[in-house]
Amino acid sequence: MKSLYKIAQSLPHRRFAAAFFLAPLVVAGCVSEVPGDPASAPGEADAHDENTGQIAEGLSNSTVAAAAAASCATASVMGLSFQIIEEGNCIEPGAFAPLSLPSSAHAGSNIFLFIQKPARDKLASLLAANPGKSLTINSMLRTVAQQYLLWSWYQSGDCGISLAAEPGNSNHETGLAMDIQEYSSWRSTLESSGFDWLGSSDPWHFDWVGSSVVDHGGLDVLAFQRLWNRNNPSDLISEDGSWGSSTESRMRKAPADGFPKGASCGPASEPACKASFSDICGSPHRSSIDWMAKQGLTMGCGGGKYCPNQTVTRRQMAGFLASALKLPAGPDKFTDDNGTPFEASINAVAAAGIANGCNVAGTKYCPEEEVTRAEMATFLARAFKLPASASDAFRDDEASMHEAKINALRAAGVTSGCDAVKKLYCPDSPVTRGQMATFIDRAMK
């Protein structure tokens, strides 16, 4: 996990290191991980709905302490967090089981969709039994590395965190908890199926209390301690699952994007997740990414990974569409893509009338620029010949030249926007590789 991590949302932030960030998201005391969703009530004993932001996997060449100082996004330690989850599953298989979401359910791109296996299986069955009922997951698993950031910001008075549990003490670290947006419509179903509603003080929050429930408190701390010792044999700490000063000091020095030596289950253990790529377990886009891989539409980003949270560039977009539609070659159209490995795909989408270039003259394609959600709508509407819609689906695209295509995308069921409740599309936000997989999957089906 040594790639350059990039931000894929543009919202206000407190401070940033230019070498690491483009625009990290603010993490308020109890704000949702889904952009635009309402904040929960302040004054809780834990920041249940922290915003992870839209950072690819973590911060390259940065420590957790540096991430705490430079960002207000818990996704800045995503690389390390994935290793903690994997190591936790090595210690207790099924403790953090990955959840795949159907089309009726949604989650932010950087939410860790992991929960204890019995809870995962029950939730999956409830979603399957209620295909027409929307469910939005605002938060699920949170690792000790993420909890350390919240605790650090609370202690320093940064990032709007008014209250946070000390690492090792949040029930979001145990694989038992989840926060959902539509709590009122799901409450009776969940309560009758083994989930406990926390109450009006935090109405979004549910805990699994059903059959085979196991208290995994401290498991993520133990997983971190094992990872630290594996990578620092001359600076060993106790592997006791308890948060303390020695563990905290090592957490501060730990690499935000993960240790060189990751999880180790031993030769007899099976991997915690069997997916087409090693970094999509728990991603809300996993099923679409798996589908694309089986169709031969993607080979990932290298090293057995897909990089679902990296933003999509215009050249990558051309590659996705040329492969998905099996477009024939086209003449050399643009002057700024010569020599790029995607030049043939760019010429193909241009010849098909999907891309007209990025300047008025139509001579440049801007292959390295990120694709915004508005631009993506036009790409897909043209590529899949989506019919126009008379319905004005969203409130935040009125000034966009892509509004008609955005409405066409919504009418075709390819997107529900970035906030279905508030009818927002977030047209200026960049598109991630995971989101792109879901968009193409829906458009082709």
Same domain for 260 and 316? no
Residue whose tokens read 């087409």: 276
Using an 8 Å Cβ cutoff, are 26 and 12 in contact? yes
What pLDDT is attached to residue 125? 95
Cα distance between residue 34 and residue 232, in whole Å = 37
Residue 397's nearest CA partner among 376, 379, 424 is 424
Q: What confidence category does residue 421 fall into, taking pLDDT thresholds of 50, 70 and 90?
A: low
What pLDDT is attached to residue 408? 93
Same domain for 211 and 268? yes
Same domain for 181 and 319? no
Look at residues 221, 251, 273 and tell me which one is the last residue of a structural domain.
273
Same domain for 89 and 170? yes
Same domain for 122 and 194? yes
Range with the poorest average pLDDT among 47-51, 55-59, 416-420: 55-59
Range with the poorest average pLDDT among 5-9, 164-168, 236-240, 300-304: 5-9
What pLDDT is attached to residue 10? 27
Range with the poorest average pLDDT among 58-72, 106-120, 226-240, 383-397: 58-72
What pLDDT is attached to residue 267? 53
Q: What confidence category does residue 57 fall into, taking pLDDT thresholds of 50, 70 and 90?
A: very low
What pLDDT is attached to residue 204? 92
Q: What pTM does this model have?
A: 0.57
What pLDDT is attached to residue 202? 87
Tokens of 429: 């936000």
What pLDDT is attached to residue 385? 93
Same domain for 269 and 318? no
- DSSP result, 327-371: PPP-----SS-TT-TTHHHHHHHHHTTS---SSTTS----TTSBP
Average pLDDT for 398-417: 90
The CATH number linked to 156 is 3.30.1380.10
**92: containing domain:** 1-273
Q: What confidence category does residue 79 fall into, taking pLDDT thresholds of 50, 70 and 90?
A: confident
What pLDDT is attached to residue 33? 29
Separation of first and last alpha carbons in the chain = 33
Same domain for 88 and 164? yes
Range with the poorest average pLDDT among 157-161, 328-332, 421-425: 421-425
Look at residues 247, 273, 299 and tell me which one is the last residue of a structural domain.
273
What pLDDT is attached to residue 381? 93
What pLDDT is attached to residue 111? 83
Same domain for 326 and 384? yes
Q: What confidence category does residue 110 fall into, taking pLDDT thresholds of 50, 70 and 90?
A: low
